[in-house]
Structure 1
Amino acid sequence: MDFLAAYDAIPEDDVPQRVSLLRQGMVADKAAVFAQLRAQRPVFSTPVGVFVTRHPDVLEVLSAPGTFTVGVFGPALEDVLGAPFVLARDGADVHWRERGYGQLVLAAEDAPRVRELTASVADAVLDEAVARGADTFDLIQDYARPAAARVAIGYLGFTGIDEDILHGCTRAMQWAFAVNPERDPGIHAAGVAAGRELHDRVAEVIARRREAADGTPGDGPGVADGDGLGAASGRGAADGAAPGRVSDDVLARMLRISLPAEYAFDDERINANLVGYLTGYQQNATQCVATAVKELAVRPQALAEARRLAAEGDPARFDAFVWEALRFHPFVPVTPRLCVRDHTLAAGTPRQTVIPAKSVVLACFASAMFDEEVLDAPAEFRPGRPPAHNLVLGYGAHDCVGRYAASVILPELVRRVLLRPGILPLPGGERELDYAGTPFPQHYTVSSGRPAGNAT
């Protein structure tokens, strides 16, 4: 379909029809629409916002948080969290101060230990899925969802909170602030209610941790495993620690840090940050497992090589296959910004465009990562591309604050699947992600590796 010809044929004042066609195109063949926009209309003004599709232009937007702010979704996110948060703000008052705080508690040096934790959790969840005895299982519901949540319990410190609550609340929260373009009041209210539930449960965990630190009766600060990270078990491990042992999960660090009083970083701020980290992690990690496996499965040669590298235990080489797979299906294909002052985008180029103040700007990651003028043969599956060509974890002031943990959790969750050769999407069903009426993949059927009909 010639998307632009069809779009231009609709009268300019028929906004509903233009918006409908745009959304249909994004669902039916987003890659084809983006390819045409990059070639013919790289800065594309529509009733829903200005689509920015070229790689350098996307980076320009995301490099100027003073001009292109998070004002599109920031207020909704703070409604959901009930407090300010780094992703919902720009500037020194909250964003830069708390981004620095996030880099301290979500430390880069955690990566090897987080990978080890992820491997242990993932293997246990896969064992449970296969042990049910069926010929198939749901890679999302039976594996990715619980594995991601248990890693969050062990690393972030959500001890004592059931994994289903962690997943269900964050789904409602992310739906409300990130994928609710019509601002449906019911979706928003559900997200706010979920945020309040998660806040209250985390407040209980914080209170128990404080009691334990004071030496008063309590459930303890969380089991510490051998590498210093909180252990994760089944359905949300209860807090508890051996005498004299201190958990080093993220929450424990947050409770140990003492900041000047003027920062007002009390337990409510700790709560909001911890819940915010989870909200930016749980759904995305769950989705990435399924989409990465899907993108490898539709490329048998790449899948075979990824399996070989997984078995060899070379994380750097294996991880490159996962990040390249996610380039083809990023969990955030488009990120919105609010232009607060007139800005000349791509100045000095043929596509130079003035973006008026108050415009919604849609920075298209899923297009930028296929920009033919920046990437060599972008349609080819090529692990090991330069880091700047992969925007899966974002770019600029609001890139993923937990990127060091994410950089090992996501590929390791996929690696544990590929280490079991019998676990594969069903023939002909490699692309069959079922969203079940939500914005997030909910089901992806894979074989369990058991002989057909063998339930023993």
Structure 2
Amino acid sequence: MSSFLNAFDSTAPADRWRMTRDRLLGDDPLPFYAELRDHRPVLETPEVTLVTRFADCAEVLRRHDLFSVALYKTKQGTYWMAQDDTAEHQRQKSVMYAVLDREDVPGIRREAAYLAASALDAADGGPVDAIATLTRAVPVELVRRRFGFADAEPADMLEWSYWNQRDAFWNQPFDDAFVDDPTGVVARREAANVEMRSFLIDLVQRRTVALEAGRPVDDMATRLLRLSNSGAVRFDPAAVMLNLGGLLIGTVETTSHAVVNALEFLSRDPDRLAAARAAARAESDGALDALIFEALRFRPAFRFFFRRCERDTPLARGTDYERTIPSGKTVLAVTHAAMFDPAAFDGPDEFAPGRSPTNTFHFGLGLHECLGRAIGAAMIPEIVRSGLLLEDWRPAAVERRPGTVPHNWSWTWETPASDRPVCKQPA
């Protein structure tokens, strides 16, 4: 038996989740994960059960019939992502996949590169909070330009996005002991959604008038309204608004978190940082992307995904650690741990750019895999690149709250914009 598990077993059950959570969200959780994978791959506490091996995490995320997203329903209401394999889920997700045209992704990447470079040029060496100025600001501006939010205030969009993410991911029942004011977080999310809904009602009305007048605006709102008005598929204006809001909420915080984690990890090792800077200056995107997504294996935006067990379910069948997960139990698929499982990765502890992204959990897995996977895979590297091009970049420590979410990150640098590669505005 190892150090954590000795302490865990000698701790009162009521205190076990707290000590486990401290290790799960700590700065260096990899030794903790290895201990669990080796000695107790399914760890049970009164509040949650943790799963840490690759095969078991994959089963939890793929078996939506047994491990559901029911915990999202009180946060996201009727939104299809809070449903499992329903007709509405499949219909609305299919519509969104269709209108999030993959042919648009290269243009989105170029636009992200331009916006990131412009944000740092305007900052003129700092000091600057990179999260407010860059890692959140760039995805917000892309949402404004591409998804129909051109008339929204960026500060409002940040509020709408932040409080929805905060409530959904960091204000669940198993978080109650660690959140100062859980009901206050819910109230902030509800207030944000009242404001966002008011904006979206007005947006849909204006885009409808423009369509009827033969002067359509080329954005996501118009694409969805055209489809809605066609009657070809059941997708009413309420669904248009709900999905436009979902695009904002799903884009900003997750992109920011991934960018910060990748940059922070690369910066901790001089050799990795030098390789990343060389890749950032090269014309090919492949080497840079490989470095960034391997960095995110070590420091993912999400260390776990949570699900609710819908009926008594055996997990890890046929192994010496098989357990039956009881109905109603919250399960944490600790995918960060799973990405270091030697049963699924060669040399998992080695930093090895070029691993297949299809064997990672960066964008989730199964029915609830990230809708914007292709867009995120384009945006994230370009925002990271902008930081790597600051040769004398001096970042402070990242301030994170709640949990592992980046909140503030002060940067300074001296490299003038004229010494960095020119990034032209896309046509």
TM-score normalised according to structure 2 size: 0.90
> Does 2:137 correspond to 1:172?
no
What letter corresponds to residue 51 of structure 1 in structure 2?
L
SS at match of 1:159: coil
Is residue 53–residue 337 contact of structure 2 (8 Å, CA) maintained in 1? Answer: yes
**Partners in 1 of 2:149 and 2:393 — Cα distance?**
30
> 1:215 is matched with which residue?
213
Is residue 323–residue 390 contact of structure 1 (8 Å, CA) maintained in 2? Answer: no
**Partners in 2 of 1:318 and 1:141 — Cα distance?**
24
Structure 1 residues 270-329: Cα deviation after superposition (integer angstroms, max 9, x where no partner): 111111121111111112221111011012211111111121121122111111111111
Among 80, 86, 108, the residue aligned to 2:102:
108
**Partners in 2 of 1:2 and 1:127 — Cα distance?**
49
Is residue 106–residue 404 contact of structure 1 (8 Å, CA) maintained in 2? Answer: no
Of the structure 1 ranges 437-446 and 386-395, higher mean CA displacement relative to structure 2 is found in: 437-446
Is residue 30–residue 337 contact of structure 2 (8 Å, CA) maintained in 1? Answer: yes
Q: CA deviation at 1:258?
A: 3.8
**Partners in 1 of 2:332 and 2:403 — Cα distance?**
21
Is residue 308–residue 329 contact of structure 2 (8 Å, CA) maintained in 1? Answer: yes
SS at match of 1:47: coil
Q: CA deviation at 1:263?
A: 5.8
Is residue 92–residue 235 contact of structure 2 (8 Å, CA) maintained in 1? Answer: no
Is residue 159–residue 205 contact of structure 1 (8 Å, CA) maintained in 2? Answer: no
Among 302, 307, 322, the residue aligned to 2:277:
307
Of the structure 1 ranges 61-70 and 440-449, higher mean CA displacement relative to structure 2 is found in: 440-449
**Partners in 1 of 2:403 and 2:339 — Cα distance?**
25
SS at match of 2:136: helix
TM-score normalised according to structure 1 size: 0.84
What letter corresponds to residue 359 of structure 2 in structure 1?
H
Distance 1:260 1:68, change over 3 A: farther
User: Where does structure 1 lack aligned partners over 5 or more consecutive residues?
Assistant: 79-83, 223-246, 452-456
Q: CA deviation at 1:262?
A: 9.5
Distance 1:206 1:448, change over 3 A: farther
What letter corresponds to residue 85 of structure 1 in structure 2?
Y
> 1:433 is matched with which residue?
398
Moved over 3 A (4+): 258-264, 436-439
RMSD: 2.1
Is residue 107–residue 404 contact of structure 1 (8 Å, CA) maintained in 2? Answer: no
> Does 2:17 correspond to 1:19?
yes
**Partners in 2 of 1:264 and 1:100 — Cα distance?**
12
SS at match of 1:285: helix
Is residue 129–residue 143 contact of structure 1 (8 Å, CA) maintained in 2? Answer: no
> Does 2:300 correspond to 1:330?
yes
Matches within 5 A, 1:247-262: 247=218, 249-258=219-228
> 2:49 is matched with which residue?
50
Q: CA deviation at 1:214?
A: 1.5
> Does 2:256 correspond to 1:286?
yes
What letter corresponds to residue 149 of structure 2 in structure 1?
F
SS at match of 2:340: coil
Q: CA deviation at 1:23?
A: 2.2
**Partners in 2 of 1:125 and 1:117 — Cα distance?**
12
> 2:194 is matched with which residue?
196
**Partners in 2 of 1:415 and 1:74 — Cα distance?**
37
Of the structure 1 ranges 289-298 and 24-33, higher mean CA displacement relative to structure 2 is found in: 24-33
**Partners in 2 of 1:154 and 1:320 — Cα distance?**
28
**Partners in 1 of 2:346 and 2:229 — Cα distance?**
47
Matches within 5 A, 1:416-455: 416-425=386-395, 429=396, 432-435=397-400, 440-450=405-415
Is residue 304–residue 333 contact of structure 2 (8 Å, CA) maintained in 1? Answer: yes
> 2:242 is matched with which residue?
272
Q: CA deviation at 1:351?
A: 2.6
**Partners in 2 of 1:90 and 1:53 — Cα distance?**
23
**Partners in 1 of 2:79 and 2:411 — Cα distance?**
38
Is residue 179–residue 439 contact of structure 1 (8 Å, CA) maintained in 2? Answer: no
Is residue 310–residue 327 contact of structure 2 (8 Å, CA) maintained in 1? Answer: yes
The count of aligned residue pairs is 407
Identity over aligned residues, as a percent?
31
Q: CA deviation at 1:422?
A: 3.0
Distance 1:262 1:254, change over 3 A: closer
Is residue 390–residue 413 contact of structure 2 (8 Å, CA) maintained in 1? Answer: no
**Partners in 1 of 2:76 and 2:100 — Cα distance?**
21
Distance 1:436 1:39, change over 3 A: closer
**Partners in 1 of 2:317 and 2:169 — Cα distance?**
30
